[in-house]
Structure 1
């Protein structure tokens, strides 16, 4: 859904909850629908931010350049460099 869709749900829910005087639309209560939309928007926003944050972690392996002797690592030794990209 993304950040934009989450904010849209929160805004529409706030309009239904706080912006309308007539809260009944047939058998539906617009205040309740507004609170549900706001809650769904907050949950979707938190999930989006969580998955975006977990996707940023990358592992970059160092590749030896030409002219250097390559010594393969032993089974107990792993050569990696971790970088965070912001």
Structure 2
């Protein structure tokens, strides 16, 4: 889950927590589910930013192995 998934969970959680009346379903407490989704969305955002920072700080080195067999390359024109 990336940045977009975290934002999506926060938005859905906010709609459930603040947009619906608590008496919509008697089986589940919609507000608590909304708060849980918002917390999971914030956690997903924090983890996504931490992973991006870790990827950005890594360095990549490219090694090119070349063998000259004694023959010079042809002259450039």
Query: Structure 1 residues 61, 6: CA separation in 2 closer, same or farther (over 3 Å shift)?
Result: closer
Counterpart mapping for 1:39-54 below 5 A: 39-54=39-54
Which segments of structure 1 move beyond 3 Å, counting only runs of 4 or more?
A: 60-63
- Superposed CA RMSD in Å reads 2.2
- Normalising by structure 1, what TM-score? 0.65
The TM-score, its normalising length taken from structure 2, stands at 0.72
> Does the CA-based 8 Å contact 2:22-2:31 persist in structure 1?
no
Considering fraction of residues, name the structure with more strand.
1
| Superposed CA offset, 1:39-84 (max 9, x none) | 0000000000001101111335587xxxxxxxxxxxxxxxxxxxxx
Kindly indicate whether structure 1 or structure 2 has the higher relative contact order, using CA contacts under 8 Å at least 6 residues apart: 2
Give the count of matched residue pairs.
65
Give the gaps of 5 or more residues in structure 2.
Answer: 64-77
Greater shift, 11-20 or 21-30, is seen at 21-30
